[in-house]
Each structure stands twice: as structure tokens, then as C-alpha cells.
Amino acid sequence: MSGPLLEVADLVKHFPQGHGLFRPGRTVHAVNGVSLTVAPKETLALVGESGSGKTTAGRAVLRLVEPDAGTVRFDGVDVLAADRRAMKALRRRMQIVFQDPYGSLDPRMTVGASVAEGIEIHRLAPKPEIRARVERLLGEVGLEPAAADKYPHQFSGGQRQRIGIARALGVDPAFVVLDEPVSALDVSVQAQVLNLLLDLQRDRGLSYLFIAHDLAVVRQVAHRIAVMYYGRIVEQGGRDEVLERPRHPYTRALLSAVPEPDPAAQRVRIVLPGDPPSPTSPPPGCPFASRCFHPARDGRCAAERPELRPVGPSLVACHHAESTWETPR
């Protein structure tokens, strides 16, 4: 197909908080107008610190949480307008691998039963053939066929994440949301799982929305990067453009936190002052204004919210994105 496989425009998700007799209700602004696209066989990395809204955005795309506004189109189909039957068909092609390999598997089900569940629900194979299909999937993610008869507690974290990947692949998806798929794993195991995901993308032609906070991991897998802060995308562009020539101060701060493998290299860590704005009280201007260290920062930043706009080959939500300035290294 030509054009994006996934198109998301102005996605919004707010969570109302309960109120008591002496406390008025408040609303958490988790996702505030996120727009993005993912092309066939492409990996878009959605990065940001904890609480930035990236996981909520990924789940809203799949309707695991219902968005409050916006549009989501998958292969030309309006996901948010789909009824129950249409949504079941879409879920075959849109899957997710969760962050926690310990909590995402039912401890009462064998690995084979977990991987087979989607195959059975969508009737993708006759019952006598399901076992063989499950064993092929386990082999594809680097596990022995005998793993099908064991339970999740008998596996390590990396092996459990491979089981979660096999379960997602069981229904032959075209698009997978990878929600921090390696953040709970040891570094050596992270590399193995990342290589597995790259191999599966090559062999199956998969598209990924890769949610992460670790830019060192993102560098290995992403074609493009979207940086989220306070429920909004503040910078988006090609991997090398964003990582080598970041234009938003927040992106620069994230990059300064990436460990430098060369002990002789000098890099100054950018420590952001203060805290992000309250998720229940969005500021009128740029949500990063109170923590910004851009030398051109002015009163407009606190009063007027910057929109995501083209700046060079990237999209940047900063009033002063065209200004050139050196970040200490």
C-alpha cells in the first residue's frame, strides 16, 4: 500500500478524578492533541519521561482506553468508529506487547494456552493444527517447543517477554505497539530482545510504535522519533535528525541523560529545574516554559502555546526552534 498504515490526528484522552464532599472533581490531561503516522514496515519511537502520556497514547490508538477526541485510521479504516464486529477484525492486525513480562501473562494458563488464545478466538487454524502453530511461534521467538506445556513462573523475564511477543504474533498482525518492551530486562537480555524484534520486522514486514524512555535503545530500532512532554509531541523527525540535531530543549535534556560509553568523552548532564506542570492544571503557554533553559526564552513562552511546525526536516513545538545555540557536551 502507499501512504501511512496508521494515521493519528489530534488524539485526546483525559481522566476525570473523583471528587468528595469538600473537594471538587479534577481532570488529568494525559494526552492532549497527539498526531502521528506510521508507515508500513516502519518503527516510530514515542519517547519521553514517565508521566508524559506515551503509554496512554499507545493504548488509545488500540482503543484499550477510549479516546475522548481525535481520529485514528488504520489501513484506511476509522478505528474509533468501528463497531464490535469491525473492531474484532481490526484487533487481528493491531497488537500490543506490554511492558511488564511478569504481569502480562496469566499465571494459571500454560504458555501454549496463552499463545493459542488469539488463534482460537479468531479461528485462524483448525483445532488439531493449533499446537503445531504454537510451537512454530515459540521457535520463532527463540524458545523450545516444550515451553508450551510450562507456566509463566518457570521462565525468566526475557523469556516471558518472548512469550508475550509470540502471543502478539499469533494472529498475524501488521502493526504492533511495543510498550517499553525491554525496560524491565537486564541489559544483556535487552539486546537479545531488540535483535529479535528487528528480525521479526524484517521477516514479517511489521510496523512498530515503540514506546520508550531510553534514547540509547531507541537509536537501535527506530526509523523516526516523536518526543512527548506533558501529553504533547514537542519534536518529531528522522532518527538521526532528532538525535544528532535536536531543536527542542526538552529533547536536548533527554539526550544529555544517555550514558556515554566512552570514559574519555565529556558530556554535561542537563538537570532540569522544578517539576512538570500539574496534569490537572495545564498552563496557558508552553508546558515546558517553567523548566526551559533556552537562551532565547521570553514572556511569549509562558503566555502562548507553541504548535508543532516544520523546522528544517523536523517538526518542533518551540517558539525559538530556529535559534541556533550550543548545548554543553
Region at 263 (left for phi over 0; alpha for psi -120 to 50; beta for the rest) = alpha
- Whether residue 90 contacts residue 5, with contact meaning beta carbons closer than 8 Å, is answered with no
Find the farthest-apart pair of alpha carbons in the chain and give their distance in angstroms, rounded: 69
Name beta bridge partners: 161: none
- Whether residue 25 contacts residue 18, with contact meaning beta carbons closer than 8 Å, is answered with yes
Cell numbers that stand for 136 in this block: 512454530
Q: Is 3 exposed, middle or buried (0-12, 13-18, 19+ CB in 10 A)?
A: exposed
Contacts of 203 (CB under 8 A, 6+ apart): none
Domains of the chain by range and CATH?
A: 6-316 (3.40.50.300)
Tell me which DSSP letter residue 29 carries.
E
**Euclidean distance between CA atoms 143 and 162, whole angstroms:** 8
Q: Spell out the per-residue pLDDT of the chain, length 329, in tens.
A: 468 999 999 999 999 887 666 666 789 999 999 999 999 999 999 999 988 999 999 999 999 999 999 999 999 999 999 999 999 999 999 999 999 888 899 999 999 999 999 999 999 999 999 999 999 999 999 999 999 999 999 999 999 999 999 999 999 999 999 999 998 888 888 999 999 999 999 999 999 999 998 888 999 999 999 999 999 999 999 999 999 999 999 999 999 888 777 777 767 788 888 788 898 999 999 999 999 999 999 999 999 999 999 999 999 999 999 987 765 54
- pTM recorded for the entire structure: 0.92
Tell me which DSSP letter residue 305 carries.
P
Runs of H (alpha helix) within the chain = 54-61, 84-93, 111-121, 127-140, 157-169, 187-204, 215-221, 239-244, 249-256, 299-303
Q: Is 127 exposed, middle or buried (0-12, 13-18, 19+ CB in 10 A)?
A: exposed
Length of the chain equals 329
